[in-house]
Amino acid sequence: MTDLIAKLKTPDDCIIFAKNASRLGHHDLEKAAKKKELQLKAAIYGAKTDAEIEAIAAVYAYEEVLSRKNGKPTRASRTWPMIEKHGIITAVERAVNRPDVTVGYKALEEIGLEEFAFEAVILRHPELFSEEAVMTSRKRMKS
């Protein structure tokens, strides 16, 4: 299975593979191809570290959820400017440290993709974030 996903080189390759996997009932392969698509998009964006790639992949996953919900391509219009202004890691921290749960987290959680939420990124890379952001993320991911 990993070999099949490793051979995918572009986001479009991943999209086609995921559609075919879904059609054939291989949902594990569909999800793996979707994850690879998001990682490739993040790399194309210019994310360098694992944490940055995961954070940008989270934004793309959120945009996909929004696009499905709205029935048309929808951009994370408040997140991208924050990333451009503050940088990827700082933007993630700022989003998670807000008092309310992020809209992105709620949307991803609803479809079982909370692994792509900023909170999950923080918990996978706690050394890059403040103690407050780590604690908030832990609390949200537990509930």
Same domain, 82 and 125: yes
13: left (phi over 0), alpha (psi -120 to 50) or beta: alpha
Q: If you write DSSP's letter for every residue of 41-99 in order, what string do you get?
A: HHHHHT--SHHHHHHHHHHHHHHHHHHHHHTS----TTHHHHHHHH-HHHHHHHHHTSS
pLDDT tens digits along 56-83: 999 999 998 899 889 999 999 999 999 9
pLDDT of 1 strictly over 70:
no
Structural domain including 67 reads 49-143
Same domain, 39 and 79: no
Same domain, 7 and 65: no
Same domain, 73 and 23: no
Same domain, 95 and 109: yes
Same domain, 88 and 113: yes
Same domain, 37 and 80: no
* Of 79, 84, 138, the residue nearest 114 (C-alpha): 138
> What whole-number distance in Å separates Cα of residue 127 and Cα of residue 137?
13
Lowest-pLDDT range of 5-9, 111-115, 137-141 = 111-115
Same domain, 72 and 9: no
DSSP element (H, E) containing 35: helix 27-45
pLDDT tens digits along 82-138: 999 999 999 999 999 988 877 777 888 877 778 889 999 999 999 999 999 999 999
Rounded to two decimals, the pTM is: 0.87
